[in-house]
Amino acid sequence: MVQKKVSVSKDRSTKKEEKKKGVVKISVKKSPKAEEKIIPRSLRGMRDILPEDQPYWERVRRVLAHSSQEYGFQRIDTPLVEYENLFTRLIGTSTDIVDKEMYTFTTRGGDKVALRPEFTAGIARAYIEHGMGILPKPVKLFSLGPVYRYDRPQEGRYREFWQGNFELYGEDDAILDAQTIQLAYRVVQQLGLKNIEFQINSIGVPESRKEYSKALVRYLEAQRSKLCQNCRERLSTNPMRILDCKEDKCIQLTAQAPQSIDYLDEESRSHFKHLLEYLDELELPYVINTRLVRGLDYYTKTVFEIWSGDKDGKKYSLGGGGRYDRLVQMMGGEATPAIGFALGIDRVILEMKRTQVKPYQEPRARVFLAQLGEMAKKKSLKLFSELEKNGILIAESFGRGSLKSQMRVSNRMGAEVTIIIGQKEALDDTAIVKDMVSGTQETVIHSRLVEAVKKILHTNQELKIKEVNIARTSENEDEKKD
RNA sequence: GUGGCCAUCGUUCAAUGGUAGGACAAUGGUUUGUGGUACCAUGAAUCAGGGUUCGAUUCCCUGUGGCCACCCCA
């Protein structure tokens, strides 16, 4: 920081001097591009997840690990980078994700590769590559990591963002669709999110979709003039998207438009019917949204999104998924039905903060070690590791001056015990153990130190448990277990 | 990719065509080895690069970044 200031003022004064002396700018420009300055800034749409945010991430990680285990998922991690055509071919060349949001580049070896914009393609690739088709079905895979999309950043929308991803291979029964949604619900519920709503739709198979698309165009074409400018263009590019339009006139028009559900093939229709029955049985909060069309080509039959938000307020999409029965086959594998969903971790955390969900509480140091003088310093370092070996988390402020300032730090971090070693204690091999709650203290010899500290911590623990119990009886639920 | 708004200490909010002030946070201290409060002190910023100007942090341009809407999605 000091450095910064110095260099800035230097620059300024030299500039000034140059000007005063009548030095012409050109000389500055000519000077061999004075080493490009390092700008300490992250790239657009990329951000750091700072220590202060980690408790939220930790809670999410724990819930995901827990839930995925409960539902029999196995963790898989695939590379961030894959061949570009894995994504272009599977996600679809006319989708936004592939069209304008992929990070692509050519390696030194000449391979055309891309940063993964989503998980499914890579995991399906791994499924085939490692012959997971021989495993007992369904094969359930869970993954967590960053994905990349070159989009205009906004709140809750980043170019590098994290997804928790669940995939189930090898089962086409609608009960798996229901279970997947149930799992999604379980996860957001355990994360303490309320006001969750599932938007569900079935988009059938590509053939029936084509037919529906034709019917939709036929209907809308007749009333072309009543559509908004945007939608008129969409008529030829992506008619299904018109269903998503926010313009009043378009909403009115599309309200009477043919619905995709009516064009479903027989199998998809019955699949959808079964799914809804299961969902009703589970009493999950869902609504059928016939306008829901998802942005990837590989989806078949069931698609859904997880929304959060109050009735009146804004709604945020926290995640989504669907069935992709043809994906594995498209990739050259054996025909394998599959379903999955992804949760947008960044958005989930945003929503946790918005609704004031408690983050994970890191176990924190409850004991502070203060030391005074050279000799005490030497002793305290050894004590530190000794206590730590006995399972006592220690905080310290080695290198800090007065005892007073050390006590202040101890107090501010909420330590329950402060161990003080001064010159005298260092000589006698003793230490002062101070109970920060009561303020009492005693001098103990090293061999009894651990015992003395633990005793205080225990009494405090018991007091705390009592308090918590009293609080619990009045307001139950919420944080049942973490 | 299109349009709009914005950019000052770590955070947050001021101010100005003459190089910036407060609050919170940080650090040290208020008699030598004990926490809180209070008080005092210290360090800390005009996103970058050009231009206009005697002089720019302020005005203009470009870039970069943030936010919002569209688009899309997680």
Q: Do A422 and A326 belong to one domain?
A: no
Domain boundary among A307, A332, A354: A354
Section A96-104 average pLDDT: 83
Residue A472's pLDDT band, with cuts at 50, 70 and 90, is: low
Q: How far is the CA of A152 from the C1' of B17 (A)?
A: 36
Q: Classify residue A164: in a domain, yes or no.
A: yes
Q: How far is the CA of A52 from the C1' of B25 (A)?
A: 14
Q: How far is the CA of A306 from the C1' of B21 (A)?
A: 48
Q: Classify residue A30: in a domain, yes or no.
A: no
Torsion (CA) A344, A348, A351, A355 in degrees, nearest 10:
160
User: What is the interface pTM, i.e. ipTM, of the complex?
Assistant: 0.88
Q: Do A286 and A386 belong to one domain?
A: no
Q: Which nucleotide is closest, CA of A373 to its C1'?
A: B33
Q: How far is the CA of A11 from the C1' of B41 (A)?
A: 30
Q: Do A343 and A387 belong to one domain?
A: no
Point out the residue nearest to B68 (C-alpha to C1').
A154
Q: Look at residues A449, A146, A197 and name the one whose alpha carbon lies nearest to residue A320.
A: A197
Domain boundary among A296, A323, A354: A354
Sign of torsion over alpha carbons A160, A166, A171, A175: negative
Per-chain mean pLDDT for chain A = 84
**Which range marks the domain in which residue A403 is found?**
367-470
Peptide bond into A153 cis (omega under 30): no
CATH number for the domain spanning A342: value is 3.30.930.10
Pairing of strands A367-371, A394-396: parallel
Q: Classify residue A38: in a domain, yes or no.
A: no
Q: Classify residue A476: in a domain, yes or no.
A: no
Q: Do A81 and A164 belong to one domain?
A: yes
Q: Classify residue A43: in a domain, yes or no.
A: no
Q: Classify residue A443: in a domain, yes or no.
A: yes
H or E, element range at A380: helix A374-389
Tokens describing residue A98: 């592939």
Q: How far is the CA of A157 from the C1' of B67 (A)?
A: 11
Q: Do A249 and A378 belong to one domain?
A: no
Q: Which nucleotides of B are covered by protein (CB under 7 A)?
A: 1-3, 10, 19, 26-30, 33-36, 43-51, 55, 64-74
Q: Do A190 and A318 belong to one domain?
A: yes
Q: Which nucleotide is closest, CA of A46 to its C1'?
A: B65
A220 pLDDT higher than 70: yes
Q: Classify residue A46: in a domain, yes or no.
A: no
Q: Do A286 and A218 belong to one domain?
A: yes
Q: What pLDDT digit, counting tens, does each position of A340-385 carry?
A: 999 999 999 999 998 889 899 878 888 999 988 888 888 888 888 8
List all residues 6 or more positions away from A315 whose beta carbon is below 8 Å from its beta carbon. Answer: A197, A307, A308, A309
Q: Which nucleotide is closest, CA of A154 to its C1'?
A: B67
Global pTM?
Answer: 0.84
Q: Classify residue A26: in a domain, yes or no.
A: no
Q: Based on the structure, what is the number of domains in chain A? A: 2
Q: How far is the CA of A316 from the C1' of B68 (A)?
A: 15
Q: Which nucleotide is closest, CA of A425 to its C1'?
A: B33
